[in-house]
Amino acid sequence: MKLLTHQKQSSYKVCVTLSNAQGRQAPTGQAPAAEGLTREILALAVVVVLGSIMTILDATIVNVALPTLGRDLHASISTIQWVPTIYLLVFASVIPLTGWISGRFGAKPVWLASLGLFMTGSMLAGLAPSIGALIGARVVQGLGGGMIMPLGQSMLAQVAGPKRMGRVMSIIGVPMLLAPVFGPLIGGALIEAASWRWIFFANLPVGLLAVALAIRLLPGGGRRSARARHGARAGAVPTAACRRRGTPPARAGCAASRWASGARR
C-alpha cells in the first residue's frame, strides 16, 4: 500500500510539473506568427536576387555569342572559349574567401564592393576592343560575381532566422535556377536586336538598381568594434591568472573565461 501511495504521489508531481512547464511556455507560443515572411525579409530577398541573378546569367548568356565574338574580335574558337571559361574559374576561386573577407570588413560593404566590381567588369567587357581585353574584363567580373551570391544568402539567412530559412531559400532559389535556362535566350535576343556588347551592358541598369536598393535595405554589417576586439584579447588575461589558482571556484572561473573568450572569437 505504501508503495502504491508513493507511486501515485510521484505521478501527481510529474503531472503538476509538466502542467506548470506548459503554462510557462504558453505566453511565448507565438512561433506561427514569427514564421511568416515580413516585408523586410521580402525586400531583402529582392535585393539578393537582383544582385545574384546577373552573375548567374553571365555564366551562360555568352555561350550563344561565341561565334559572333570570334568573328568581330578576329579570334579562334580555342581562344574565344576562354571568355566563358575564365569567368567560371575566377567565380569559383573567390567563393572560399568570401567568409574571411566579410568577417574582416563586414557583409554589406563587401557585397556592395563586389557588385561594383562586377559592374565595372561588365562595362569593360562591353567596351573591349580585343579578345585579350575581353578576357581580362571577364576576370574582373568573376572576382566580383563570385562573392555576391554567398554574401547575399548569408545576410538573408541572418535576418530570416532558422525557422524561416526554407521559405526564404525557396523564394531566391527559383530565379537562380531559371537564370541559366533563360541566359542563352536573352543573349540571343540581345545579339539580334543590338550587338554582343549589350550582353554586358545590360548588367549596368540592373546593377545600379540593386546598389540603390542595397544601400537602403541591406542590414549594416560593419567590422567588429574596437571594444569587441579588446574584449576578445582581454578574455585571455583572466584565463592566465586563473591557472595560478588551484581552488575549485578559480578553476570554474578559468573554464568559464576560456569558453567566453572562444565564443567571442
> Quick one: average pLDDT of 122-146?
93
Between 16-25, 145-154, 227-236, the lowest mean confidence (pLDDT) is in 227-236
pLDDT at 216 (0 to 100): 85
pLDDT at 82 (0 to 100): 93
Whether residue 258 lies inside any domain: the answer is: yes
Whether residue 3 lies inside any domain: the answer is: no
Whether residue 73 lies inside any domain: the answer is: yes
Residues 95 and 135 in one domain: yes
Q: Between 137 and 184, whose confidence is greater?
A: 137
For the chain, the average pLDDT equals 74
Between 33-42, 84-93, 180-189, 217-226, the lowest mean confidence (pLDDT) is in 217-226
> Using H for helix, E for strand and C for coil, what is the string for the chain?
CHHHHHHHHHHHHHHHHHHHHHHHHHHHCCHHHHCCCCHHHHHHHHHHHHHHHHHHHHHHCCHHHHHHHHHHCCCCHHHHCHHHHHHHHHHHHHHHHHHHHHHHHCHHHHHHHHHHHHHHHHHHHHCCCCHHHHHHHHHHHHHHHHHHHHHHHHHHHHHHCHHHHHHHHHHHHHHHHHHHHHHHHHHHHHHHHCCCCHHHHCHHHHHHHHHHHHHHHCCCCCCCCHHHHHHHHHCHHHHHHHCCCCCHHHHHHHHHHHHHHHHHC
Whether residue 164 lies inside any domain: the answer is: yes
Whether residue 32 lies inside any domain: the answer is: no
Q: Into how many domains does the chain fold? A: 2
CATH at residue 142 = 1.20.1250.20
Residues 48 and 156 in one domain: yes
Whether residue 16 lies inside any domain: the answer is: no
* Percent of the chain residues past pLDDT 70, beyond the cut: 69
Residues 173 and 65 in one domain: yes
pLDDT at 35 (0 to 100): 60
Residues 233 and 111 in one domain: no
pLDDT tens, position by position, 204-246: 999 999 999 888 887 765 444 333 333 434 444 444 444 444 4
Q: Is the pLDDT of residue 169 over 90?
A: no
Residues 251 and 151 in one domain: no
Q: Is the pLDDT of residue 160 over 60?
A: yes
Residues 47 and 126 in one domain: yes
Task: Give the C-alpha separation, 33 to 35, whole Å.
Answer: 5
Grid cell at residue 109: 560593404
Residues 94 and 162 in one domain: yes
**Can you give the pTM of this predicted structure?**
0.68
Q: Is the pLDDT of residue 157 over 60?
A: yes
Structural domain for 176, as ranges? 37-217
**Triad 47, 53, 54: Cα angle to 5°:** 105
Whether residue 10 lies inside any domain: the answer is: no
